[in-house]
Structure 1
Amino acid sequence: MSTDIEPAGVVEDESFFRTLVEHGSDAIISIDADSTILFANRSVERVFGYEPAELVGEPLTTVMPERFQGTHHAAIAEYIETGERTLDWNGIELPGEHKDGHEVQLSITFEEHQYEGKRVFSGIMRDITDRVERERKLERQNEQLERFAGILSHDLRDPLNTARAQVALAKNADDPTEYLDELEHIHQRMGDLIEDVLTLTKQGHTVGEPEPVSPATVAEEAWQTVGGSAATLRVEEVGVVRADRERLLSLFENLLGNAVRHAGDDVTVEVGPLSAGDGFYVADDGPGIPESDRADVFDYGFTTDDGGTGFGLNIVESIADAHGWKVGVTDSEAGGARFEFSGVRRSENGDTE
């Protein structure tokens, strides 16, 4: 009886393994010593947006953010010359660059092999963008928990202790009513703090499903809530963008309300598009924000108003960040404050829902 029994399940057809390489979930790119792409499997289209044929013959830097390109060339040159690796080849996490320009977070394992007498380097790349975003979201949530702990331990404790002192004084006063106004002010401030903390808790750094929204329309709606009778809002058409409408409404309510509080009841506020076409601005003709304060103005608790909680602009930054926008502050043409939101994604069809 023959003992040469082939193990069950062994696959000898080489085409089977070619199919695994071509259609596996991980993108695979092979380069020569000059970093020219020799091979790309089908999954590069899912990860990078390129057809494999578009990449073959191109430099590897095609799918690499510019800031890493110099380091890559230096590392390859040193390895070929010395044989020493300047970075780990297994599971290194680096961003790649998609065809449309956005970055893709990758876990990459590098391999070296010989092909037709030449040195070939292959990178097996797994898209970990979702995992990285979950980790970042968890980190931001933990940061918020620390903020709330600070608010509860300090920002609420101080007015509470002051209120207790006022009550003690009132009990021993011939006319306790003289302390009631101060108590009312303290309780109002505590109420404002609690409302802002609840707003931050509900909004955090997340947004709902983006939809086509007109920032101009949302700004006018917010003005109905926070605008004063003597104040003026001027709105230019911004176009249609993709955003969470409720969060955008809260952004405008905080910004416009902030302008009315700091610039006066007769303030004029303008909303319009950025000249680059990638966002919008909100500007007023008030006293503006000193350049020395601009680095801190979005920090929670920062305020120049004795009655303010210092959360309004922090909420604005959180909402912008959740949408992937960048927000900055500068001078308006009238000398007031101008907040600029860039990196705003426009709606493809241009129709609001």
Structure 2
Amino acid sequence: MSTDVEPAGVVDDESFFRTLVEHGSDAIISIDADSTILFANRSVERVFGYEPAELVGEPLTVVMPERFQAAHHAAIAEYVETGERTLDWNDVELPGEHKDGHEVQLSITFEEHRYDGKRVFSGIMRDVTDRVERERKLERQNEQLERFAGILSHDLRDPLNTARAQVALAKNADDPTEYLDELERVHDRMGELIEDVLTLTKQGQTVGEPEPVSPRAVAEEAWQTVGSGDATLSVEDVGVVQADRERLRSLFENLLGNAVHHGGDCVTVEVGPLPADDGFYVEDDGPGIPAEDREDVFDYGFTTDDGGTGFGLNIVESIADAHGWEVTVAESEAGGARFEFAGVRLGADDE
């Protein structure tokens, strides 16, 4: 009787573990000391968008954002030469770069082993993008709650105290009507604060389902609300963007209204595309924003106007962030303010 049959439950260990590595849920990439990819399992396609065969023989930097590439090469070179690690090898959170260019948040564990007498380094990578985004959303919500607490404890308390003082003076005055104008001003101020708080509450860092939207059309709609006197709006062919139309309108209303408020009734505001169709700009020929204030203008509560709430540009930044755009402020050619929105990806305007 033959004794060559394997007992039930016994498997080929090498085949079994090769299957685990090849088809596991985590992406695994192995490189040599020169950072050339030697092996990639099937899960790299799910995480990075590449077929494994597309990566083998390529430098590891093909799945790495450019800003980390120099640091990676320096760290590998130092470790190979000295054996000293410049970072923890267990559960390191770093971004990778997908085949289509977007970044993927990863939790990475590194291993070193020898194969055919050569040093081989492997990264076991888990896509944690969803968890990181949830954490960021929670952090933004906490920041928003702190802002609201500040509004309740200070921004609304001050005008409320002023209103109470005016009422007390009116009660003891021969002609209480002289205090009505000040009370009206205080109540208007409180109304502005409440409206801006409601805007932040409704919009915050969230947007609805993006759709193809014409910034030109939305800017012209917003101008109908905030335009004033002899102020002029000039809109170049910007194309279309993927955006929440209502949030984009609020963005333009805040920017255009800000330009009219600070630039006066005769201000000229221009909207146009950035080079290489990477986004759009909004600029004016008003007094501009001093260079020393440009890093602070998007901060909650920052204002150079005694009557301002300091929420407008913070709302603009929040809406841009929610769309994945980057907003910066500079000086226009006319010396006014220029706001640039990058990373927007403009398309042809069919409207």
TM-score, length-normalised on structure 2? 0.92
3-state DSSP of counterpart to 2:276: coil
- Residue 191 of structure 2 aligns with an amino acid whose one-letter code is G
- The yes-or-no answer on 1:260 pairing with 2:260 is yes
**More moved, 97-106 vs 306-315:** 97-106
d(CA) in 2 for partners of 1:79 and 1:289?
A: 48
Checking the alignment, whether the CA contact within 8 Å between 1:212 and 1:351 is kept in structure 2 is no
Query: 1:326: Cα distance to partner?
Result: 1.2
Number of the residue aligned with 2:3: none
Checking the alignment, whether the CA contact within 8 Å between 1:193 and 1:309 is kept in structure 2 is yes
- The yes-or-no answer on 1:44 pairing with 2:44 is yes
Number of the residue aligned with 2:209: 209
d(CA) in 2 for partners of 1:231 and 1:77?
A: 60
Query: 1:197: Cα distance to partner?
Result: 0.6
d(CA) in 2 for partners of 1:84 and 1:229?
A: 68
d(CA) in 1 for partners of 2:10 and 2:240?
A: 57
Relative to structure 1, is the Cα distance of residues 236 and 164 closer, same or farther in structure 2, using a 3 angstrom cutoff?
A: same
Spell out, residue by residue over 1:39-58, the C-alpha distance to the aligned partner (whole angstroms, 9 max, x if none).
01122122222221221112
- The yes-or-no answer on 1:146 pairing with 2:151 is no
- The yes-or-no answer on 1:185 pairing with 2:209 is no
Relative to structure 1, is the Cα distance of residues 214 and 43 closer, same or farther in structure 2, using a 3 angstrom cutoff?
A: same
Number of the residue aligned with 2:294: 294
Checking the alignment, whether the CA contact within 8 Å between 1:303 and 1:310 is kept in structure 2 is yes
Query: 1:27: Cα distance to partner?
Result: 0.9
The runs of 4+ residues in structure 1 deviating greater than 6 Å are none
Q: Which runs of 5+ in 1 are unaligned?
A: 1-5
Relative to structure 1, is the Cα distance of residues 11 and 204 closer, same or farther in structure 2, using a 3 angstrom cutoff?
A: farther
Checking the alignment, whether the CA contact within 8 Å between 2:29 and 2:37 is kept in structure 1 is yes
- Residue 310 of structure 1 aligns with an amino acid whose one-letter code is G
Number of the residue aligned with 1:281: 281
Query: 1:128: Cα distance to partner?
Result: 0.8
**More moved, 102-111 vs 163-172:** 102-111
3-state DSSP of counterpart to 2:28: strand
Spell out, residue by residue over 1:258-314, the C-alpha distance to the aligned partner (whole angstroms, 9 max, x if none).
112111122221111112321111112222222222122111212222222111111
Spell out, residue by residue over 1:212-237, the C-alpha distance to the aligned partner (whole angstroms, 9 max, x if none).
11111111111111112432211111
Report the count of equivalent residues.
346
Number of the residue aligned with 1:55: 55
Query: 1:126: Cα distance to partner?
Result: 0.6
Spell out, residue by residue over 1:123-170, the C-alpha distance to the aligned partner (whole angstroms, 9 max, x if none).
110111111111111111111111111111011111111111111111
**More moved, 75-84 vs 256-265:** 75-84
d(CA) in 1 for partners of 2:265 and 2:319?
A: 26
3-state DSSP of counterpart to 1:270: strand
Spell out, residue by residue over 1:305-349, the C-alpha distance to the aligned partner (whole angstroms, 9 max, x if none).
2222111111001111111111112222222222111111335x8
d(CA) in 1 for partners of 2:135 and 2:169?
A: 51
d(CA) in 2 for partners of 1:285 and 1:95?
A: 40
Number of the residue aligned with 1:3: none
- Residue 260 of structure 1 aligns with an amino acid whose one-letter code is V
- Residue 78 of structure 1 aligns with an amino acid whose one-letter code is E
1:211-250 aligned within 5 A? 211-250=211-250
Spell out, residue by residue over 1:182-220, the C-alpha distance to the aligned partner (whole angstroms, 9 max, x if none).
000001100110110110011111112211111111111
Checking the alignment, whether the CA contact within 8 Å between 1:212 and 1:350 is kept in structure 2 is no
d(CA) in 2 for partners of 1:9 and 1:140?
A: 52
Checking the alignment, whether the CA contact within 8 Å between 1:75 and 1:86 is kept in structure 2 is yes
d(CA) in 1 for partners of 2:204 and 2:111?
A: 42
Relative to structure 1, is the Cα distance of residues 246 and 155 closer, same or farther in structure 2, using a 3 angstrom cutoff?
A: same
d(CA) in 1 for partners of 2:257 and 2:7?
A: 75
3-state DSSP of counterpart to 1:205: coil
Checking the alignment, whether the CA contact within 8 Å between 1:278 and 1:342 is kept in structure 2 is yes
Checking the alignment, whether the CA contact within 8 Å between 1:111 and 1:123 is kept in structure 2 is yes
% identity of equivalent residues: 88
Relative to structure 1, is the Cα distance of residues 177 and 188 closer, same or farther in structure 2, using a 3 angstrom cutoff?
A: same
Number of the residue aligned with 1:130: 130
Q: Which runs of 5+ in 2 are unaligned?
A: 1-5
d(CA) in 2 for partners of 1:298 and 1:243?
A: 21
TM-score, length-normalised on structure 1? 0.92
d(CA) in 2 for partners of 1:114 and 1:70?
A: 25
Relative to structure 1, is the Cα distance of residues 313 and 9 closer, same or farther in structure 2, using a 3 angstrom cutoff?
A: farther
**More moved, 313-322 vs 94-103:** 94-103
Checking the alignment, whether the CA contact within 8 Å between 2:317 and 2:327 is kept in structure 1 is yes
- The yes-or-no answer on 1:106 pairing with 2:106 is yes
**More moved, 162-171 vs 331-340:** 331-340
